Amino acid sequence: MSETADPALRAQRAPGDQQLDGSRAAEAIRGYLLGLLLASGLTVATFYLADSTMVWRAAIPIALVVLAIAQMGVHLVFFLHITTGPESTNNVLALAFGLLIVFLLLAGSLFIMTNLDSNMVPLGEVMQMQR
Amino acid sequence: MTIGAAPSAAEPVPHRLGRDDDSVNRSRRETATGPPSKRVIVGYGFWIFLLSDIVLFSAFFATYGVLAGATAGGPTGRQIFDLTNVKIETGCLLASSFCCGLASIGVGLRNKTMFHASMAITFLLGAAFILLELKEFADLVAAGNGPGRSAFLSAFFALVGCHGLHVCVGLLWLLTMMAQVLAKGFRDDILRRILCFSLFWHALDIVWVALFTVVYVIGAMT
């Protein structure tokens, strides 16, 4: 595809897409810097929260998971350049499907195995019964 | 509309309501500029692979989640995880992701010096990450806490080791890309390979975000 006249379409492309001039390269570097800043902020927050007493102790793992998901979003947008642009539509749909599978795998495994764990007779007792 | 009782202009065919040729063409013009370039298609294909890789990792994560408590009398995560080490590893990987971004800007500028310098720093940071991880593994095994110790440790070594293996493959790929740019220059096919490499490298960082949060930080808490 040749240069698109529409600046909005051009802006949605990843850096390195085609040749960059100086100003667009500077813009791209700013994008990566912003991503780095957000990601490291979220990372620092994760490690800080892990041994802080500010938050109710039992809520911290959930807060950490939320921070991790936020950071993954930052990585997707600023580093992997997943956007709402027309060239990204297929990628976003594939991502949505991937997330569905990941959710089913994680939630399904954890739910089923926890359920089995709490409902089945422990192995030691089974061996007692067989005696 | 020549066969049968063609509806007149006064009563339009339902499926064409509000979609006269002109508006269809106009919306086509607005949303697309022809078939996507090979670059977009290659990126999409590689993105599908990355998602399947993430599904693979989610299976390892599910295994770890199920087995995290099965320590069989061995050490728990709280006893063996060194968060300082994890902080340095995380910093290395995040910085290397940023440098990989700079390398792709170097590609955009067709600036070989910027590309090679950024890729070299990316490599060093990635190699530092791998060395720290290997040292952690070696220390654990030396202390008798190898993957054979408990189901928890088996799942831990499988998950973290799988990520480490991916990083090793990424490092090899990185060197290959540097050599190819050196030997062949910024040819179109080389540019597409670099695009795939940078997607791969950034995706590994995403997996690490999930990994250090779930395995190390939460594991060291409970």
Residues A51-110: pLDDT tens digits? Answer: 888 888 888 999 999 999 999 999 999 999 988 887 788 999 999 999 999 999 999 999
CA distance A123 to A72: 40
Task: Please judge whether A80 and B40 are an interchain contact, meaning their C-beta atoms are less than 8 angstroms apart.
Answer: no
Residue B110 sits at the chain A interface (C-beta within 8 Å) = yes
| Chain B residue closest in CA terms to A38 | B94
* Range scoring the smallest mean pLDDT among A39-48, B24-33, B61-70: B24-33
pLDDT of residue A2: 43
How many CA atoms, within 13 angstroms, populate the side-chain half-sphere of residue A5? 2
Residue B178 sits at the chain A interface (C-beta within 8 Å) = no
Tokens at residue A65, please?
């998971």
pLDDT of residue A62: 92
Average confidence score pLDDT of chain B: 88
Mean pLDDT of B57-65: 96
Q: Count the neighbouring beta carbons within 10 Å of the beta carbon of residue B148.
A: 11
Residue B33 sits at the chain A interface (C-beta within 8 Å) = yes
Residues of B in contact with A7 (CB under 8 A): none
**Residue whose pair of structure tokens reads 């950490």 in the numeric block:** A64
pLDDT of residue A23: 86
Q: Is A12 exposed, middle or buried (0-12, 13-18, 19+ CB in 10 A)?
A: middle
pLDDT surpasses 70 at B14: no
* Range scoring the smallest mean pLDDT among B19-23, B62-66, B122-126: B19-23
pLDDT surpasses 70 at B28: no
pLDDT of residue A126: 78
For residues A89, A90, A94 and A100, what is the CA-based torsion angle, rounded to 10 degrees?
Answer: 40
pLDDT of residue A127: 77
Mean pLDDT of B18-22: 50
pLDDT band at B142 (very low <50, low <70, confident <90, very high): very high
pLDDT of residue B45: 95
Q: Which of B97, B121, B45 is nearest to A90 (CA)?
A: B45
Tokens at residue A97, please?
């499907």
Task: Please judge whether B55 and A68 are an interchain contact, meaning their C-beta atoms are less than 8 angstroms apart.
Answer: no
User: Any idea what DSSP says for residue B217?
Assistant: I
Per-residue model confidence as pLDDT tens digits over B175-210? 999 999 999 999 999 999 999 999 999 999 999 999
**Which residue intervals of B14-111 are DSSP H helices?**
21-31, 38-67, 77-80, 83-108
Interface ipTM above 0.85: no
pLDDT of residue B5: 52
Q: Do residues B160 and B133 touch, judged by C-beta distance below 8 A?
A: yes
pLDDT of residue A83: 83
Task: Please judge whether B209 and A98 are an interchain contact, meaning their C-beta atoms are less than 8 angstroms apart.
Answer: no
Q: Is B138 exposed, middle or buried (0-12, 13-18, 19+ CB in 10 A)?
A: exposed
Mean pLDDT of A102-121: 92
Residues of A in contact with B51 (CB under 8 A): 94-95, 97-98
User: Any idea what DSSP says for residue A79?
Assistant: I
pLDDT of residue B71: 87
User: Any idea what DSSP says for residue B214?
Assistant: I
What's the gap in Å between the CA of B27 and the closest CA on chain A? 12
B157 compared with B29, residue with greater pLDDT:
B157
Mean pLDDT of B21-34: 52
pLDDT surpasses 50 at A46: yes
What's the gap in Å between the CA of A121 and the closest CA on chain B? 16
pLDDT of residue A45: 94
Which of B48, B51, B122 has the most A C-beta neighbours within 10 Å, making it the best mutation to test the interface with A? B51
Per-residue model confidence as pLDDT tens digits over B160-177? 999 999 999 999 999 999
Task: Please judge whether A68 and B107 are an interchain contact, meaning their C-beta atoms are less than 8 angstroms apart.
Answer: no
Residues of A in contact with B94 (CB under 8 A): 36, 39-40, 43
pLDDT of residue A6: 52
Per-residue model confidence as pLDDT tens digits over B206-222? 999 999 999 999 988 87
CA distance B218 to B202: 23
Q: Which of B106, B99, B122 is nearest to B172 (CA)?
A: B122
Of A19, A29, A98, the CB nearest to B51: A98
pLDDT band at A15 (very low <50, low <70, confident <90, very high): very low
Of B47, B59, B104, the CB nearest to A16: B104
Angle, CA B99 vertex, CA B129 and CA A98 arms, to 5°: 75
